[in-house]
A and B are shown apart, each in its own frame.
Chain A
C-alpha cells in the first residue's frame, strides 16, 4: 500500500510540483488549494503525511494544522509546513499549532524527497 500524502497549497505550480515529485518515488498524493479543502480531504481519508503551505486564503496553514491535530486520527501524523526563509514567526506559530517540521521554499526535488522520506518513509 503506498503512503498517502496530502499537499495543501494555493499555488498550483507548487501543488503540482509536490505531486509530481512525490509520485515519482511512489507516494500517493492528494492535493487541496486551501485549508478548508485540505481539511475536507484529510477527513475523507486518513493520510500518512500532510504538507501544507502557510499563507492561504479561506483557512491558512496554521489553522489547518491546529484543526488536524484536534482530530483523533491525526494526533500523531507528521505535518510539514512549507515556509519561506522570511517566515520565522510563522514557523514558530506553526510548531505551536502542532507541526512536525518544515520545508523551506523553494526546494529542489531531491531535498524535498529526503525530508519527506525522513518523516514518512515511502514503504
Chain B
C-alpha cells in the first residue's frame, strides 16, 4: 500500500468539488420542485421530508466536497425544515418564498468565481435571518462551551468489559487496544475467567475483559473516545491514576528498536483538519513508542501551531516514520537517529522525504473514477460534442471511401467488403452517439414551474402547471435551444392567455387557470406544446390589427388559421398595453425565428374563450440530417430531405412565359419559386431544362430552381460560425464524399425572403 500524498488529496478534493457542482444542479432543481409542491400542500409530512432530505444531502455533500461555508449556511435553513418535520413549525408561503430565494442564491454561489462566491452567500443573509425568525424559540440553539482538558500527561486505568454480542456488530476488541496504545504506552491485562464451560460456550460471543493502564497527554476524553463505537454497550471504567512525567521514560526499549529524534511543525493549515494530531499519535503508535520532548505551549483547550520535538523508539526506518506525517499539511518532519542529533541542530543528510509516493497523473485519477459498478457516468457535454464531431468526420470519411470504391475499377481483395463494414459500423456508431445525447425534456419543463408560479403571482393570476410526456427525449442541443422559445410561450400564455381569477369566475371557469406543457414523439420529430385554458386568440382583433399595420389587405378573406399565423410576424402584437411580462410585442416572431433555426415549425390552435395551444414541431436531432443534394452552376447545395416534396421540370420556354412572376402551376395550384441562380447572382447561362424542387414548410410550398438534383445525401451539419450570422440563406455546411464543401440551404429563411419579395404586392402570401 502506498501512502497517499497531500497532492493526491488535493486532486481528490478538486474532483469532488467538480462532481458536487453537477450534483448540486440536480439537487437544486429537485429542491425547487419539492418546495413548489410543498407550497400547494404545506402540511404534507412526506413533502416536508422530501425538502428536508434534499437540503440535507446538499449540505452534507457540500461539506464533504469542500464547500464548508455553503454547508454551514444550509445547515441553518435545514433547521427550519427540521422543525417543520418535528411539527414545531408550520410551513407557510413566506417560508417557501424565502427558501426559493435562498435556492437561487445557492445556484448563483455555485456558478460564481471562487473569489466572489462568499459574497453571494453573504448577500442572502437577510433572507436567511428572516427565515430563521420562523423558528420556535427552543429551536434556536445556544452555543455550548467546551471544557478544556488538562494538557499534561496522565496515567489512566481502563476497565473494559464488552457485551457478549460485541463481534456481532462487526467490532474487534483488538482495535480498541491498538487505539489505546496509539495514545501512549500501555500495560494490558486480559481476563478469560468468564469463559463458560465448553458445552455452554457460544463461539460467536465475546467473554473476555481487559484492564489497561495507559499514559497519555491526550486527556480522558481521548481515552473515552477510543471506545465511542461501543459507548453504552459495554462496561467501561476510566479512572485517572496519577500524573507521570515524562510518560515513556519507564518503558524499556523493545529488541531491535532504535531511538529517533523527530522534529515537525504544525500550522493553522495543519490544524484545520480536526484530529490530525490524534491520528499522528495513532499512526506512530502502530510501530513504536512516542515521547513528546517539547510541544507548542498549550492555550485554552487546544494546541496552537508550533514546533514539536519527539523521541521515537521503533524498529522502522526513517522513511516509514516520515510516512506517518503525510496527512499533516506543512509538517516538514525531520527524522534523525538520536545518536546523530543534537537537539535543535539536525544534520540534513539523515532527513527523510515526507512524501514518498509519486503524485497521481490525471489519467490515473480519471480511470479510478470511471472504474466500477453499472452506474451512470457523467460526461461533460463538451466532450460529448467533440465525440459527435468526430463521428461526423467519420461519416464523411466513410462516404469518401464509398465514393472512391465506387469509382475504382478493380478493387484490391477485401476492400469492398471492408468499405461496406465501415458503412454499417459508422452508421451504428452514429445512431449510438446521437442516442447518448438524447435527454428527457422533463428538466427543461421543470424550469418553467418556478417561472410560472412567480409570474402568475406578479400578474395576480392563479395557475396550475401540468406537464405531460416529460420523459420524451430530444437531442440536448435542441433542448437547450428550445428553452428560450418555450419561455416566451409560457410567458405569453400567462400574460395574454390566462384571465385573472375573477374574470374566469365571471364566465364560469374554475378560478385557477391551467397551463399545459406537453411533449410527444412522432416519427423523427417531437411535438412540444404550450397550451392554456384562457381566453384564446381573438381572430377579429388580429385581423383589424393586421390591416392597420399593412400586413393584410383590407379586403383579404384569410381563414382563421391563416389569421393566426400573422401573430408570428415581426412587430405584431394585439396587446396595446406594454406589459412587464411579455413586453412590447416582441416574442412570437422571435419564437418563430428560433424554432425555424431548429428546423422546426410552430403553429397555433385556438378556440375563442376556451384557450390556445402553441405547437412546436422539432427534429429529434440537429447534428445529422438526411439531405437532398442539388447543383447550381457547378456548386453543390444541400436542403433537408424532410421538407422536399417533389421535383418538377422547368423549361426555358416556361420560364420566359411566366413573365417574371416566378410561379409554377402544380396540379392546379400556383406555387411561387425562387431561382437560386439569380439569388446567388450567378451569371452563367442556365441549362435548357432546370429542376424545381418543391419544398413544403409551415404548410406553405415554395419551389427552388436548381440545375440538377443529384440525390440523397446524409449530411453532418457543420456550423458556419460567424459567417452564418451574416448570411441568411445558409444554415451550415457539410463536406461531401469527394471532399468538396456543400452549403446547406436554410429553407425557412428562403421562404421568408420570398415572402418579403412578394409581400409588397399581395400583403399576404399564404
Contact = CB atoms under 8 A, between A and B. Distances in A.
Nearest to B141: A86
Nearest to A105: B60
Contacts of A52: none
Interface in B146-197: 167-172, 175, 178-179
Interface centre among B82, B170, B282 (most CB of A within 10 A): B170
A107 B279 CA distance: 13
A19 B369 contact: yes
A12 B179 CA distance: 32
A111 B275 contact: yes
B276 interface: yes
Contact of A13 (B2, B19, B282, B365): B19
B375 A13 contact: no
Contacts of B375: 31, 33
A110 B273 contact: yes
A82 B172 CA distance: 19
Contacts of A108: 9, 273-274
Contact of B373 (A31, A69, A75, A99): A31
A17 B12 contact: yes
Contacts of A31: 372-373, 375
B233 A95 contact: yes
Given A11-B57, A19-B369, A53-B60, 20 more contacts: A11-B60, A13-B23, A14-B61, A14-B64, A21-B9, A23-B371, A25-B1, A32-B373, A33-B375, A41-B373, A75-B167, A75-B204, A76-B170, A77-B170, A100-B170, A108-B273, A109-B13, A111-B275, A114-B279, A114-B327
A122 B171 CA distance: 16
B4 A113 contact: yes
Interface string B29-71: 0000000000000000000000001001101110111001001
Contact of B170 (A23, A32, A33, A79): A79
B119 interface: no
A76 B57 contact: no
A24 B273 contact: no
A37 to B, nearest CB: 9
B4 A109 contact: yes
A13 B15 CA distance: 9
B229 interface: yes
B9 A106 contact: no
A26 B279 contact: no
Contacts of B274: 108, 111
Contact of A12 (B23, B178, B368): B23
Contact of B369 (A20, A86, A102): A20
A106 B68 contact: yes
Interface string A46-84: 000000010101000000000001000001111100101
Contacts of A11: 23, 57, 60-61, 64
A122 B372 contact: no
Contacts of B130: none
B446 interface: no
B239 interface: no
Contact of B1 (A14, A95, A122): A122
B16 interface: yes
The 9 nearest A-B residue pairs measured at CB = A106-B63, A110-B327, A101-B229, A100-B170, A78-B170, A11-B61, A13-B20, A13-B61, A24-B4
Instruction: Name the prevailing secondary structure of the B interface residues.
Output: helix
B523 to A, nearest CB: 35
Interface centre among A13, A20, A26, A99 (most CB of B within 10 A): A13
A102 to B, nearest CB: 8
B228 interface: yes
A42 B738 CA distance: 56
B8 interface: yes
B730 to A, nearest CB: 42
Given A13-B19, A25-B1, A31-B372, A100 B171 contact: yes
Nearest to B15: A20
Nearest to A32: B373
A119 interface: yes
A12 B68 CA distance: 17
Contact of A76 (B2, B168, B178): B168
Contacts of A99: 169-170
A29 interface: yes
Given A76-B168, A78-B171, A100-B170, A24 B360 contact: yes
A105 B64 CA distance: 7
A110 B64 contact: no
A10 to B, nearest CB: 6
B12 A24 contact: yes
B670 interface: no
Contact of A100 (B2, B19, B229): B229
B3 interface: yes
A69 B204 CA distance: 14
Interface centre among A14, A26, A78 (most CB of B within 10 A): A14
A55 to B, nearest CB: 6
A33 B4 CA distance: 26
Given A19-B372, A24-B8, A119-B170, A55 B56 contact: yes
A123 to B, nearest CB: 5
B65 A17 contact: yes
A10 B64 CA distance: 13
Nearest to B65: A13
Contacts of A75: 167-168, 204
A24 B11 CA distance: 11
Interface in B68-124: 68, 71, 82
A98 interface: yes
B620 to A, nearest CB: 28
Interface in B624-640: none
Contacts of A53: 60
15 contacts: A11-B57, A11-B61, A17-B16, A17-B64, A24-B9, A29-B372, A30-B373, A82-B60, A95-B169, A95-B233, A99-B169, A101-B228, A105-B64, A106-B64, A110-B279
A24 to B, nearest CB: 4
A106 B279 contact: no
A106 B71 contact: yes
Contacts of B59: 84
B167 A26 contact: no
A119 B178 CA distance: 11
Contact of B282 (A20, A33, A79, A114): A114
Contacts of A19: 368-369, 372
